[in-house]
Amino acid sequence: MSDANTAPVLIAGAGPVGMTTALALHARGVPATILEADSADRDRSGSRAIYVHGTTLHTLERVHPGLGERMVEEGLVWPTRHTKWRGKDVFERTYDNPGGKGTFPHFTSLPQERTEDFMHEALAEAGIEIHWDAAVETVESGPEGVRVVTSDGREWETPYLVGADGGGSTVRKEIGAQFEGDQSKNSFIIADVDEVEEDPLPLERLFHYDDPKVGGRNVMLVPFTGGWRLDIQCLEGDDPDELCSDENMREFTRRIMGERYADNVTWVSSYKFLQVMADRFVDEHRRVLLAGEAAHLLAPFGARGMNSGVADADEAASAIAVAYRAREDAVARDEVELYAARREKAAEYNLDAAGQALEYLQGENPATVLRKEAAASLADYFEVAGEYLDDAPYGPHDAPPIVSTGNY
């Protein structure tokens, strides 16, 4: 291909992962262009990835100085962890300095839409273009590069393509990769509830096991800037569509959060979570790389979805930056293969961690059920028992051991 050494790297998808990939390539001096299926005036509702880990903030700040800072200014760091068991408090801890002493807090909480707004600002500052209404339809890779056709009828040639086009990824299908894994048994209802001005709830992350106010369902409440995320775990036999009706959600919200919040539900959705990853993250010619949800879908407990997607993006950009300038094809191939090896391992680790949280919440293992019950009965006497109940719904805390930057 004629322009292979100067043509921009193409990225399918202007979600958080595609935008981070573009910024991370730009930071490494590699030109990048984004092809996005949606129109520029699209609605990205639903708070989704509210929990942004500190390491993600560091990565974003590194690839575009000021981006991490803006997210920290906008985000909220809740100071209190609180857990209840069937109406009774079993654990509560408030931190004086919940974000820690580092340059960036351990985490921040803001709606994904706001994170994406800041990323759009960063792209504009970096002069990176998004081609809207340009869905990638076909991908043809060869030893020299990739030919892409988009829904607006245009043809593109690029030395490298990053498929960051989300869970239904066309790029993944076009390179013949397939998702493998399974799906949660339970459904979960997830709602966003606007904050009230008068008498707001204390800023705490609350997990309530078998909440008697809502028929013994597990409930989680997490604050973010401007509102709350309310998760309700369906029981066996529940019809999630029925539970999601306006009337039912109003009633659930009233019982869980109080009358003043009942009319503030702004978004509701129900999920069965997929726990899957692509059987390979790169094409046979080592010219197409999958990143984020195009490569893996995780249950959200432990907040590894967008966080691990940002790590994919940074590592994809790092591999491409070397491959893009390599004089020897074998070196370029190796870089891309190394990307696949590292991020496939990370995805396996993240899937396992999110899977442990899911398994715990679904309570199918009798040993887990017993451990929970025992912890609940001991929580009045031993703080460590309450702390176990507080911690377990989110799975292990660690990042995959093979990453050097501490990312997910």
Ligand X SMILES: Cc1cc2nc3c(=O)[nH]c(=O)nc-3n(C[C@H](O)[C@H](O)[C@H](O)COP(=O)(O)OP(=O)(O)OC[C@H]3O[C@@H](n4cnc5c(N)ncnc54)[C@H](O)[C@@H]3O)c2cc1C
Q: Which residues bind ligand X (CB under 6 A)?
A: 12-18, 35-38, 48-51, 112, 135-136, 164-166, 170, 190, 292-293, 300, 303, 305-307, 309
Based on CB atoms, which residue is closest to ligand X, 304 or 372?
Answer: 304
Q: At its nearest, how many Å lie between ligand X and the CB of residue 24? A: 13
The set of long-range contacts for 166-170, using a CB threshold of 8 Å and a minimum separation of 24, is: 166/13, 166/15, 166/292, 166/293, 166/294, 167/274, 167/293, 167/294, 167/297, 169/12, 169/13, 169/290, 169/293, 169/294, 170/12, 170/135, 170/136, 170/137, 170/139
Q: Return the closest-CA partner of residue 296 out of 243, 346, 229.
A: 346
Q: Which is nearer to ligand X, 120 or 280 (CB)?
A: 120
Shortest Cβ 325–ligand X spacing (Å): 26
Give the whole-angstrom CA distance, residue 284 versus residue 178: 14
Q: With b meaning 16 or more CB within 10 Å and e meaning fewer, what string describes 347-382?
A: bebbbebbbbbbbbbeeeeeebeebbeebbebbeee
**Nearer to ligand X by C-beta: 130 or 385?**
130
Which residue, 123 or 303, has its beta carbon nearer to ligand X? 303
Q: Which is nearer to ligand X, 50 or 361 (CB)?
A: 50
**CB of 220 vs ligand X, minimal distance in Å:** 11
Q: Which is nearer to ligand X, 137 or 387 (CB)?
A: 137
Reduced to 3 DSSP states, what percent helix, strand and coil does the chain have, rounded to the nearest 5?
40, 25, 35
Q: Please, what is the minimum distance in Å from the beta carbon of residue 378 to ligand X? A: 30
- The minimum distance between CB 255 and ligand X, in angstroms, equals 21
The residue number with the shortest CB distance to ligand X is 15
Minimal distance, residue 299 CB to ligand X, in Å = 9
**Checking phi first, is residue 182 left (phi over 0); if not, alpha (psi -120 to 50) or beta?**
beta
